[in-house]
Structure formats: structure tokens, C-alpha cells
Amino acid sequence: MDQQTLNFIFVGATFAIYIGIAFWARAGSTGEFYAAGRGVHPVTNGMATAADWMSAASFISMAGLIAFVGYDNSSFLMGWTGGYVLLAMLLAPYLRKFGKYTVPEFVGDRFYSTSARMVAVVCLIVASLTYVIGQMTGVGVTFARFLEVESDTGLYIGAIVVFFYAVLGGMKGITYTQVAQYVVLITAYTIPAIFISLELTGDFLPQMGLFGTHEASGTPLLARLDQVLAEIGFASYTGHHTNTLNMTLFTLSLMIGTAGLPHVIVRFFTVPKVADARWSAGWALVFIALLYTVAPAVGAMARLNIVDTIYPNGIQADTSLRYDEKPSWMTNWEVTGLLKFEDKNGDGMIQYYNDKNEAMAAAATERGWAGNELVTFNRDILVLANPEIANLPGWVIAIVAAGGLAAALSTAAGLLLAISSAISHDLIKGALNPSISEKGELLAARIAMAIAIGVATWLGLNPPGFAAQTVALAFGIAAASIFPVLMMGIFSTRINNSGAIAGMLSGLIFTVVYIFIYKGWFFIPDTNWLPDNADNWVFGISPLSIGSIGAGINFLVAYFVSRATADVPEEIRELVESIRIPRGAGEAVDH
């Protein structure tokens, strides 16, 4: 059976499962659409949360960024995992105890202001739409290669699938679909990693193989990787090569952005009790760790395999791969435009090296090389191409295709639900039409979901970066706008409605403007005001890291504005105190 047929079978089977679950678990009420009827078991919710959390950025892009930058990009792992701990310990149980359906609803009630609720809606939509661009990018990349269609066509197919199971099922359908998607994505991620670890190091567990011995050379795997990268002029994989301040702020931005992501927070509204919210978070961390501890091994081993593929006789042999002898994986990915070679000196060989390294450039000139001929290697393809690079069986390649789509679609569905809930429950019912019937609200939620899917697909056609980079921008926006107001709403009785509104707006505007200065407007390509490089960043702080500064501005503005305006009403003070009373084992009470 040919590879494309296998891909169609595996991807088609998983899509059929997702849509079947949506019909089985379709929402019949607003409670089921927004919070799955608050009846999800903690283990089930933990698995669904893990799928919601591990997006295209985690599955498709993260290992690629680690592979080509090295340990410095482990900040993605540290930030995302650390942020989840913050969310589990500081926010999730208290928000579940408050007993509302959405994050803006909490903000509106806690800060006794419809205006605060509407500002929170704006913050949520901006962050979630930015995040969903990365998911749609991942869908397009995966379809482009494995189903051999244009990436734009892949986006449209993915949007149709999400439409069926998200619009029909709401949170109830999405929850059980995400359980299936977690099983698919974790299987698809770990099986190739196990094969490759066995091949390179003899270790069954990739986590052990990363620190094991490279059998072909007899040296530690990471030492061998550092050696081959040094020989072609690249920075070492294990060294620290980036601005420490920027790396620290980036990690912090990812952490607090994680804790402020509304599509993850609402998952904790689906369990019966406050204690179940804590258990859900614990189980989710276990399920997330199964992928996150494998990602560094996948990145390192794939990078070594790429170099060994281009230099099959060793780098010192002074011969590289011939264009007419390229392995099939290179030819397959060249068709997508995400991988590209250019024979700059016309010798029929592929020269892969860092032509910006002075010593390597001098050596290359002596050999008659005219520059690095691997001119395009989109980071998002590495995990998807990994099984082909390692010559794994066709069924492994097919399940990786299904896994990449599962990761992207699961998170996209959660984000789109957060957006539609904000529009139907917070904007329409909360402000425009408070007397709307439950049936009318449910219809409005489904229409809002359909519109959000259309907008997300349109934005996904022109993403501002790799999947993980785009997602990092969303984390910065969530960090600067949503996380501070949730923390102050739970743990401070001094912050009033004026402070909350001023803080959210200042954090959001500062962060979005900084991002757009260097990244441009998402829907108007190439409109950035300054080149996006460290020489132009303020104090060396990249657009991906600025969310942590925006969060600090949010906190400070909220504090000083609150001090200069009216005190918080006594009943709100009592409400805040009641949220923090440690009765985690009891039933949550809806206010």
C-alpha cells in the first residue's frame, strides 16, 4: 500500500472518530455547551486539558525550534510547564469555586462592572485569535505534505472538521473529542521517538537516549551533536548563546501567559468539585510530561540525522550528498515549498554549513563552496519529517500525520469555544440582550463559533511566523492583559473596577503595539515598522518576550489607579474573601 493511501486511511479514520464523538456528545443546553454540564471526571478532564494545551506549537514546532537553536529554546518547555503549575496552584481552583462559565464573567462580577467584562472580552478575543493562527498554520503544514494538497486547501479542510465537532458538541463534544485526540497525538509523537532512540543510541526511552551514547561514534549523543555542528560552523547545541535578560523575560512571559489563557482556564469549569479542578491539573501535568520530556530528544536526534544525511561519509570526507541522490523525504518536502535547496556552485552536491561563520566560510572557499545550499528549512516540518528522515515504516509516517492534525485541531477547538462563549455569553447575554432565552443563547454561541472559525482560517492563511512563534505572541498578550486581572481579582481586595480596566487596557495596548512594531499587522503582510532583530529591540527584549513587561505595567497601573479612585464595595470584599476560603474538597457553589 502506497504512503498517500496510508495517510488518507489514518487521517480519515481519526476524523471520523472526532465527528462521531461530536454527534454522540452534542450539547443540548448552554451548560453543556459552555462547561460540559460540569460532569467531567478529573482524569478525563486532565487528558482533555493536555490535548487542549499541547497544540501545533508543542507537537509540530517546538522540537524544530529546539533542534535548530539548541538548549536555549528549552525556555519553551520551562515556560509552558511552569505556567501550568501557576495555573493549577493559583487560579484554577479559585475560579472553579466562583462557579461561572467564562473568564470575562468572573472579571465582570469580581470588579462589579459590565465595562470590565467587555474589556476582558476584547483581551480574550485578541489573545485567542492570535493563538489560533498558529494552530491553523500547523493544519496547513500537515495537510500540505501528507495529503499532498495546497496548505490553503488543508486549512479549509481542517476548518470544516472543527466546525462539525465544535459547533455541534460545544464543550461537551470538544472534551471527549480531545480525549481521543490526546491518545492519537501522544502515540504519534512517542512511537517515532522510540524507534529513532533505539536506532541511534540503543535506548528504548528517548529521554534516556538523549543522555546516552551515540552508537555509531561511541561518544555521548549530545557531545557528538556538538562536534558535528562545530565542524560545519554552527553554535553548539548545549551551549547558551542568547541574551540572558531576553531569555528570562521570554520564559516568564510564557509562564504567566499560560496561566492566563482562557481556553485552558475554562477546562477547569467542567469538573463537579473544586477538588476535582486540582486533580485535573495534576493529571494534565502527567499527560503533558509524556510529550514534553520527549521533545528535547526528538530535536537533538533529528538535527543529528539531518547532518548525517547530507554528509553520509562524514563531514571530514569533504564530500556531501548529491542532488540526484537525495532521499525521498527531501524530495517530498521540497514539493511543499517548506524545504528548499539551491545549487549555488553548480557542482551537483548539497553543501550544508554556516556561511556566516568566518572560519567555516574560509574553509568553504578553499573547497569551492559558494554558500549554504539548504536555503529553506521551515522549523514546523521537523517533527513531521522525522519518521521519513529515519526511514521508519509507512504506518508510522501516517500516524504522525494524524497526530499533527490532532494537536492542531484540539487546541483550535478549545480556543474557538472560548471566543464564541465570550461573544454569546459575555457580550450578547451579559451586555446587549440580558433577557435572551437559553435556546437563543445556544444558537448565538453556535453562530459565533462558526464566524470565529471563518476568521481564524482567514488569519491562518498569512501567519506572522512559525507555529510556536505565533503562539508565543498569544502568550505575551494573555500575560499582559488577562493574568494580572485574574491574580488581583482573587488575591487582592484593594483593586477596584477602574484599576482593573485601566490595567487591562494599558497592558494590552503596550504589548500589542510593541509586537506590531516588529511583526506588522497580521492581515497586512510586511507592515512592520522596524526589522525584527536584536539590534532594534528595546534593551534587547524581543516581541516574544514583551508580555512579561506588559504584565508588570498592568499590575502597576491597576494598583495606582485603584488607590486614586473609590474603594471596593464591602460586598465585593466579602466575595473575594469567600473565594479564597480553603474548602477545596467541597462542592463549588454557583453565585
Q: Which residue has the higher pLDDT, 531 or 421?
A: 421
Q: What are residue 338's phi and psi, to 5 degrees?
A: -90, -10
Q: What is the largest CA-CA distance in the chain?
A: 80
Burial status of residue 325 (CB atoms within 10 A of its CB: 0-12, 13-18, 19 or more): exposed
pLDDT band at 519 (very low <50, low <70, confident <90, very high): confident
- Summarize pLDDT for 57-68 with one digit per residue, the tens: 788 778 888 888
Can you tell me the mean pLDDT for 367-383?
86
> Considering Cα of 296, then 301, then 306, then 308, what sign does the dihedral take?
positive
Host H or E run for residue 172: helix 168-201
Per DSSP, the residues of 419-442 read: HHHIIIIIIIIIII-TT--HHHHH
Residue 129 has pLDDT above 60, yes or no: yes
What pLDDT sits at residue 193?
94
pLDDT band (50, 70, 90) for residue 312: confident
pLDDT at position 584 over 50: no
For residue 364 the three cell numbers come to: 568553504
Output the nine-digit C-alpha cell for 508.
494590552
Task: Report the percent of the chain where pLDDT is more than 70.
Answer: 94
Question: Are residues 265 and 107 in contact, defined by beta-carbon separation less than 8 angstroms?
Answer: no
Q: How many Å apart are CA 499 and CA 193, to the nearest integer?
A: 49
Is the pLDDT at 316 greater than 80? The verdict is no
Average pLDDT over residues 357-367: 86
- Measured distance CA(499)–CA(572) in Å, rounded: 15
SS3 214: strand
Domains identified in the chain and CATH numbers = 3-110+117-301+388-470 (1.20.1730.10), 311-383 (no CATH)
Task: Tell me what the mean pLDDT of segment 273-290 comes to.
Answer: 87
Select from 507, 465, 489 the least CA-distant residue to 577: 489
Q: What is the pLDDT of residue 201?
A: 95
pLDDT at 86: 85
**From 58-72, 454-468, 571-585, the region with the lowest mean pLDDT:** 454-468
**pLDDT recorded at residue 256:** 93
Under 8 Å between Cβ of 138 and 467: yes
**Confidence class for position 521, pLDDT limits 50, 70, 90:** low
Chain-centroid distance of CA 480 in Å reads 17
Using CB atoms within 10 Å of the CB of residue 590, give its burial: 0 to 12 exposed, 13 to 18 middle, 19+ buried: exposed
Angle at 49 between CA 43 and CA 52, to 5 degrees: 150
Q: Is the separation of the CB atoms in 230 and 339 below 8 Å? A: no
Contact between 96 and 272 (Cβ < 8 Å): no
Output DSSP code: residue 2: -
348 φψ region: left (φ > 0), alpha (ψ -120 to 50), beta (else)? left
Written as one string, the DSSP assignment of 98-158 is: HT-SSHHHHHHHHTT-HHHHHHHHHHHHHHHHHHHHHHHHHHHHHHHHHS-S-HHHHHHHH
Mean pLDDT of the chain: 85
Q: Would you place residue 524 in the very low, low, confident or very high pLDDT band (cuts 50, 70, 90)?
A: low
Residue 40's φ and ψ, nearest 5 degrees, are: -85, 135
Residue 425 has pLDDT above 50, yes or no: yes
Distance CA 148, CA 211 (A): 37
Asked if the model's pLDDT at residue 306 lies above 60, the reply is yes
pLDDT at residue 395 greater than cutoff 50: yes
| pLDDT at position 499 | 97
In this structure, which amino acid lies at residue 159? A
Residue 444 near residue 430 (C-beta atoms within 8 A): no
Can you give the pLDDT at residue 568?
94
3-class secondary-structure state, position 391: coil
Of the candidate ranges 249-263, 431-445, 526-540, the one whose mean pLDDT is the lowest = 526-540
**pLDDT confidence bin for 591, thresholds 50/70/90:** very low
Polymer length in residues for the chain: 591
270: three-class secondary structure by DSSP: coil
Q: Is the pLDDT of residue 411 over 70?
A: yes
Identify which has the larger pLDDT, 148 or 564: 564
Place of cell 461561572: 100
pLDDT band at 194 (very low <50, low <70, confident <90, very high): very high
Question: What per-residue confidence (pLDDT) applies to 528?
Answer: 67
Q: Choose between 523 and 82: higher pLDDT.
A: 82
pLDDT band at 525 (very low <50, low <70, confident <90, very high): low
pLDDT tens-digit readout, 473-517:
788 899 999 999 999 999 999 999 999 999 999 999 999 889 888
pLDDT given for residue 268 in this prediction = 83
Of 265, 250, 155, 233, which is closest to residue 489 (Cα–Cα)? 265
**Tens digit of each residue's pLDDT (9 = 90 or more) over 242-281:** 788 888 999 999 899 988 888 888 888 888 888 888 888 8
pLDDT reported for residue 587: 47
Within 10 angstroms of residue 213's Cβ, the number of other Cβ atoms is 17
Confidence (pLDDT) at 108: 93
Q: What pLDDT band is residue 329 in, cutting at 50, 70 and 90?
A: confident
pLDDT digit string (tens) for 544-558?
A: 899 999 999 999 999
The CA distance from 3 to 397, in Å, is 8
